[in-house]
Amino acid sequence: MAAPSVVGLDIGSMSIRAAEAGRTKDGPVLSNFGYAPVPAGVVQSGVITDEAIITALLKELWATGKFRSKRVVLGVTNPQVVVREMAVNNLPRAEMRQALPFQVRDALPLPVEKSLLDFCPLEQPGTKETVRGLLVAAPKDAVLAAVHATERAGLHVQRVDLASFALVRAASRLDEQVEAIVDIGARSTSVVVHTDGVPQIVRTIPRGGAEITETVASRLDVPFDEAEHLKCRVGMKSAEDTETASIISSAVRPLISEISSSFAYLTSGERHTRVARLALSGGGSRLGGLRDALAEMLGVDVAFVDPILRVRGLRRVRNGPLEHFRASAAVAIGLALRGTAS
């Protein structure tokens, strides 16, 4: 008998993505996927500026998308999120939650009273005095705004999880290779580097596809929508429109530079490791020529993620083939997998 389903909810600056999944004896099954555009300015840098609009969009999405479950795992993407490897005192779970703000106070850019904290051990605690793991700190107000907007739509937030962790859960290839998963959204880009599913670097870059479009619009003096169409049609290389292609290529370089600098941590200190391959996700990842540019500038193999790598079932959605949404579905599916984990 299948376990009750849960919906992974990814609220971005341009759209909301929702993936419903359940678990059977044969593993997780994707049963539904829905999508709703978000008006400009309603979500900025991972922060909901108008909760009422998001609530209304979620109500409409659940009604038209025919989602069966109201249980939600909510994703968080925010440039202020901190994920840092560190050692803390080895305490029972309940005591650790109480002691964590005092242990990590000096490691955070935000005051602890304005942060939501969690700690994910990377080793078995045993009897050691300290345990090594990942400290996760997110801005409290931004997370609570998303939770409130979601629950006012009649949904129940079962868990809150980082979008970066959801990417690893949905799309990582588990072997001994160091892999980077890069999810390029409209206004932000998530970078997570992992080895065999264990994150080593987690970062949110405040750059995305919309910034590239705005550069094209400014340089060519055309409206944003026309610039977006040109960007998608021309890409980074075009014999027919070399001027636009050159502008797009120039606009992409700062993002690639930020991605590259994210990897520098791996070669610092005693680590001396490097990324062996890169997996691309997100709506911005499909820009023509971007895959080749990343491979050339970063010196790694680059491929597109397969967000349905670990789920069975759904191949079509109400808006058309799932293929149309494949690039932007990974986070929502990864969130749903968190909710269905046994």
pTM tops 0.85, yes or no: yes
Gap between the Cα atoms of 139 and 154, Å rounded: 24
Give me the helix-helix angle, 330-340 and 163-171, nearest 10°: 90
Per-residue pLDDT tens over the stretch 229-283: 999 999 998 888 999 999 999 999 999 999 998 888 777 656 667 899 999 999 8
Distance between first and last Cα of the chain: 14
Per-residue pLDDT tens over the stretch 196-235: 888 888 888 999 999 999 999 999 999 999 999 999 999 9
Give the pair of three-digit tokens for residue 57: 């969009």
CATH 3.30.1490.300 segments of the chain: 82-137
Gap between the Cα atoms of 229 and 34, Å rounded: 24
Mark the ranges of the chain whose per-residue pLDDT is less than 70: 1-3, 268-272, 314-325, 342
DSSP 54-111: HHHHHHHHHHHHT----EEEEEE--TT-EEEEEEEE---HHHHHHHHHHHHGGG-SS-
| Per-residue confidence (pLDDT) for residue 272, from 0 to 100 | 67
Give me the helix-helix angle, 209-220 and 242-263, nearest 10°: 150
Gap between the Cα atoms of 19 and 22, Å rounded: 10
CATH code, residues 6-78+140-172+306-340: 3.30.420.40
CATH 3.30.420.40 segments of the chain: 6-78+140-172+306-340
Gap between the Cα atoms of 99 and 104, Å rounded: 9
Gap between the Cα atoms of 287 and 265, Å rounded: 27
CATH code, residues 82-137: 3.30.1490.300
